Amino acid sequence: MVEEKITTAFIRDLPKTDLHVHLDGSIRIPTLIELAKQAHIALPSQTEGGLRELVFKDRYQNLSEYLHGFGMTVSVMQNEAALEQVAYEFAQDNYDEGVRYLEVRFAPQLHMHKHLNAIMVLKAVDRGMNRARREANARPEVASGSEPPFEYGIICCAMRMFTAGFSEYYGDLIHAHRYTPPKEVYGMASMELARAAVKARDEHGLPVVGFDLAGEESGYPAGDHYRAFEYAHRQFLKKTVHAGEAYGPESIFQAITDLHADRIGHGTYLLEADAIRDEEIADKEQYVQRLGEYIADRRITLEVCLTSNLQTNPNVVSLDDHNFSKMRKHRLSTTICTDNRTVSNTTVTRELELAVRHMKLNRHDLKSIIVYGFKRAFGPGTYLNKRDFVRRIIDYYKVIEKKHFGEVA
């Protein structure tokens, strides 16, 4: 039975993380409207209500419809001022609901053109995030040490595949290598981004903490991006890979072997033997059992996004049947994330509420999931910095528990 004591107010007050959230899927709708007007970009509606009805819905017919809104958000984020504003507001929104560590991910190459290179894109996003961080940490409660600070990291997303229409950068790359097999061009873009991510961290001091691979899994294997992830691995840049979101366990296996993934984005089909497509895998049940054991043993964390999965995956009819329950039963390392705050019309608080309600979590379960989000974060700072930060989070968690319950679980 679900504990009635776990209220929205309690979850909102708790210190939280979001380790899997896309910047271009989390723009404030009024800001989208404002930036579209400035750039003379037509939108289906000029009101938030209209865009909620037509574009950013509670449910979608399919993944294509879900992704439709990204074309609009990315189109208005093509200059430094817009990127900085969106990042600043994004960080504010997270801080206001109790998020104390945030890893913002996005694909810099979607915003690149002849006037804007990868470093400029990353610097613009960092300026916005850092401005929100400075304002949050200047509050007396944080300065005095009674509340933990707000920290963040940046994750650069490479794309499994792209077309010339994705951005000017991708269009130019495809044109320059029009006689090259597409998968090699995809790998070139990933390698260029991996080098830019390391340069941004090492030469420009930006908090780039991870490298990601996003996009369509079916037909676009992670192995096409091996060189980029091998480079990131050798440069001690942590890796997370979208895998098992719309494809079987083999995709997850490739992510943790070929790409050295430290975390898995979604991982919905991790334990689903029926989702295996590789005909060479004879004993499917044994395969998922061993894969699950491998991931559990190495504490490879699954970044679970409940609402997003419900909206994009036709096999997830109800959250009561989501594989998160099975993941928890197998004691896998999991953390609850939003994926896209605007496109999925959600918050971290709401996602945790959904987990409590549909997966019958008690206070101990909830605390374990939240604390693991901080422990498996890619930042902030050194390992010792991170240990100190996690300790402050745990101490503050107890303060919030005492505030709401008068005792600590």
Dihedral angle, C-alpha 174, 103, 118, 43, nearest 10 ° = 70
> Which among 147, 151, 217, 245 is annotated as catalytic?
245
HEC letters along 171-182: HHHHHHCCCCCH
Find all residues with CB under 8 Å of 302, minimum gap 6, and list them.
263, 264, 266, 267, 270, 295, 327, 332, 333, 334, 335
Alpha carbons 86 and 54: distance in angstroms, whole number? 22
DSSP one-letter code for 362:
-
- 159's CB contacts (< 8 A; 6+ apart) are 107, 109, 166, 186, 189, 190, 213, 214, 215
DSSP label at 113?
Answer: B
Which uninterrupted H or E stretch holds 368?
helix 363-375
Which amino acid, one-letter code, is at 133? R
Q: Is 245 annotated in the active site?
A: yes
Over 69-88, what HEC string results? HHHHHHHCCCCHHHHHHHHH
Quickly list H helices, 1-117. Answer: 8-13, 29-38, 48-54, 63-75, 80-96
Q: What 3-state DSSP class applies to 162?
A: coil
Peptide bond into 30 cis (omega under 30): no
Helix (H, G, I), strand (E, B), or coil: what is residue 397?
A: helix
* Pairwise CA distance, residues 14 & 200, whole Å: 32
Q: How many CB atoms lie within 10 A of CB 244?
A: 27
List the catalytic residues: 245
